Structure 1
Amino acid sequence: MPVENGPLERGLAVLRAIGGHQGSRLRRADLARLTGLARSPIDRITDTLLHLGLLRAEGPDLLPAPRLLTFGHAYLDGTGFVAPLRPLLAELSERLDESVSLAVPDVGGVRLLAQSARRRAVYLAFHVGGLLPEDRTAAGVVLAAGWEHEQFEEWAAARAADPLDHGYPAVPPLRQPLPQRRLTFQRRTARAWDLGWSLDEEWVEPGLLALAAPVRGRGQLGAVSVLSHTSRHTPETFRETVLPVLLEAVREMEARLAQPDPPAAPPPAPVVPAKDEPGTEFVAALARGLAVLGAFRAGGLTVAAAARATGLPRATARRALLTLHETGYATEDEGVFHLLPSVLDLGYAKLSALTLPELLDPHLAELAAATGEPVAAAVLDGADLRCAAVVGTGRVVRLDLAVGSRRPAADSALGRAMLAGRDWAEVDAELPDGVRCLAVPVPGGVPLASADLARGGGPLALAVLPTGPAPTEEVLTQLRAVAARVEADLRLTGGF
């Protein structure tokens, strides 16, 4: 079955290159080199992705934008596997005071779908959406238990093509002869098949322990892993302490998967616009295809359902679905299409690793440029404000304010805007002479469900810190607009 939508195929190749790039920044010439596409289509594709808000530009550099998470959310929501288990993963993490994750098999490795992490001096570099090698993780060994000879042959061929595991950026290179590596892997999977669980004794890197067990339900197989450090456990004490609790939690998870879900809320309208846009550089066929990708929900999509969800003609929706199928992002069974874990390669792991300052900085820079004044963001932490991000203007007068610094919430406009639940607040002379503060709360604040943004954090507020007289209404309008954009990004980054 030939690929039906060339612009969508090329656009997905660009997004995959951006998602898989090891650095944080790419330029258009880099994308041409990585994808093999000519510069002209690269320019049109990136202009379209920028217009749709899926990428953002900092000068010539292109970076993934939080809206790109929409597609990974569509896959995770559509599995029917992640949402029921997420609260149980959090409970298991809380009970053991260890990090917990959920992974499923994918082409080329195991894919991390959910995580409940504990904040410590030593923390995990694995993020939701990341791909890990089967033989170097307890989850991968559990998922490979029961493999046939052909599957080990396919695995060995892939490892021969990438002997140092460069395709897995979250793990260090492994220098081990392939025959020895294969023998070790087969022994581990055989043991996991017999025991029903696997213990990773520093397979990925020194100091890391992991214990994994399979979880089954709704026609799917996953692996739940508990991760710790040798500074907290020996392999023996880790197994003795964790295994009974883990197996009990897995039984509860499988019981939950056996229950029907409550009726789902109507899916939101597609984030990506589906209609033609003016301008010769806008690739309408790419935008329409991405609209179909973002429309997936639990139960999958038929051609008719995709057309209804996006407002596109049936023929256009069909071309997009066939392209997703042919490029390895969806499967099809009797006319119903379901997304595959490879959708998470479209920037999900990189974006799910965002810290709160990294998310805020582009918005604060935009606000500082628009107002010509320093700007800051703070999180309410008990009775204090903790500075989450700050952007100056490069003037001679500088603010004595740094990320992580604290001040009493009641003494600042940011704190008053949050504590009193006001629409906005203004305070004069609370900072150095001549400096005022105009602040608005971000609706919804920092999402507590996010493991990486602000664990335990409270409401969030943005502020402009004028160093002289400033038109309050104009600045307030700009503040509110940026706060709304921050809220939208937080909802995307905190949803899964």
Structure 2
Amino acid sequence: MKSEKNSGAQASTGDHYVKSAEKTLSVLLAFTADNPRLSVTQVAEATHLTRAAARRFLLTLVDLGYLTTDGTQFSLTPRVLDIGAGFLAGLDLPKVAQPHLNRLANDLDESATLSILDEDDIVYIARATAPRLHTVTVNLGNRLPAWATSMGRILVSELPPEDRQAFLDRTEISTFTDRTVSSRDELGKELERIREQGWCLVSQELDEGLRGLAVPVRRGDTTLAAVNVSLHTSHLRGLSIEDDVVPRLQAVAVSIAEDFGGRSQ
């Protein structure tokens, strides 16, 4: 952790160095995957600022939209992603994922997709159509309710507990087939099970005869997206979902993450 006495950086960078910029960044960087919600006191301790100074920086960042607060604790907002948007513009996740999805679709003869979570929906950002489905139109940007899809459930299961609960509290369950989950309580239990096993199978809950299987694409503690295959009940050719298909998806997810951001240590 960087302390206040680390003023050697200022001496080495010259008179132009703005200490308040360093302090602002240190406040933002205090929020981590292990500590996503912090109080004023915790931020002051992490940044070696006084409690009064930490509070001023935090409230300024709330005013600017980079933090949110419930009056006691603070957390980052999606706007912090704007800071790295220029850099990330050169790292095109769908483009990186496409060849991997193509190989997966050819391997299984099933459609493969990459999706992200946007509030309560999943959004398709890349897709490879099964070779046997030559006339199917690829509709990138299409949305589906996250609660009803394998991609959505795996992504929601990766959220912090309070965010998962908030998602459940505002979800309205609709019946698509007689296999669709029937209540928020049932969905909550399913999300817990998915989180523990690390993959999600939604079997014939959206459409009769169709199963969706999804795994997360992770970089360290960050979940980037979900990889999914649509498994028609008549096309598995004796493959076991858990023993054969899940490992293939997990390998593809690892490959996408490594190509997107470098091999994990």
- Normalising TM by the smaller chain, what interval? 0.5 to 0.7
CA–CA separation in structure 1 for the residues paired with 2:139 and 2:98: 15
Kindly indicate whether the alpha-carbon contact (under 8 Å) linking 1:77 and 1:83 is maintained by their aligned counterparts in 2: no
| Residue number in structure 2 paired with 1:254 | 257
1:34-53 CA-partner distances (Å, limit 9, x unpaired)? xxxxxxxxxxxxxxxxxxxx
| Residue number in structure 1 paired with 2:229 | 226
Kindly indicate whether the alpha-carbon contact (under 8 Å) linking 1:99 and 1:118 is maintained by their aligned counterparts in 2: yes
SS in 1 for 2:218: strand
**What is the count of residue pairs matched by the alignment?**
175
Q: 1:153 to 1:257 in 2, by over 3 A?
A: same
CA–CA separation in structure 2 for the residues paired with 1:121 and 1:80: 26
Kindly indicate whether the alpha-carbon contact (under 8 Å) linking 1:146 and 1:190 is maintained by their aligned counterparts in 2: no
Kindly indicate whether the alpha-carbon contact (under 8 Å) linking 2:157 and 2:164 is maintained by their aligned counterparts in 1: no
Q: Give how far 1:187 is off.
A: 2.0
Q: Give how far 1:147 is off.
A: 3.5
Kindly indicate whether the alpha-carbon contact (under 8 Å) linking 2:148 and 2:205 is maintained by their aligned counterparts in 1: yes
Residue 85 (structure 1) aligned with residue 97 (structure 2): yes
Q: 1:174 to 1:107 in 2, by over 3 A?
A: farther
Q: Give how far 1:197 is off.
A: 1.0
Q: From 101, 105, 112, give the equivalent of 1:100.
A: 112
Kindly indicate whether the alpha-carbon contact (under 8 Å) linking 1:100 and 1:116 is maintained by their aligned counterparts in 2: yes
Q: Give how far 1:184 is off.
A: 2.3
Kindly indicate whether the alpha-carbon contact (under 8 Å) linking 2:111 and 2:230 is maintained by their aligned counterparts in 1: yes
**What stretches of structure 2 of length at least 5 have no aligned partner?**
1-87
Q: 1:93 to 1:130 in 2, by over 3 A?
A: same
Q: 1:124 to 1:230 in 2, by over 3 A?
A: farther
Map 1:292-371 onto structure 2 (within 5 A).
Answer: none
Q: Give how far 1:82 is off.
A: 1.6
Q: 1:177 to 1:239 in 2, by over 3 A?
A: closer
| Residue number in structure 2 paired with 1:485 | none
TM-score by length of 2: 0.55
Percent identity among equivalent residues? 24
| Residue number in structure 2 paired with 1:193 | 195
Kindly indicate whether the alpha-carbon contact (under 8 Å) linking 2:158 and 2:223 is maintained by their aligned counterparts in 1: no
SS in 2 for 1:233: coil
CA–CA separation in structure 1 for the residues paired with 2:238 and 2:138: 21
CA–CA separation in structure 2 for the residues paired with 1:94 and 1:77: 29
Q: Give how far 1:213 is off.
A: 0.8
Q: Give how far 1:158 is off.
A: 3.6
Kindly indicate whether the alpha-carbon contact (under 8 Å) linking 2:201 and 2:213 is maintained by their aligned counterparts in 1: yes
| Residue number in structure 2 paired with 1:327 | none
Runs of 4+ more than 4 Å apart: 76-79, 119-126, 172-178
Kindly indicate whether the alpha-carbon contact (under 8 Å) linking 2:178 and 2:205 is maintained by their aligned counterparts in 1: no
TM-score by length of 1: 0.31
Q: Give how far 1:240 is off.
A: 3.1
Q: 1:254 to 1:154 in 2, by over 3 A?
A: same
Map 1:69-84 onto structure 2 (within 5 A).
Answer: 80-84=92-96
Q: 1:131 to 1:93 in 2, by over 3 A?
A: same
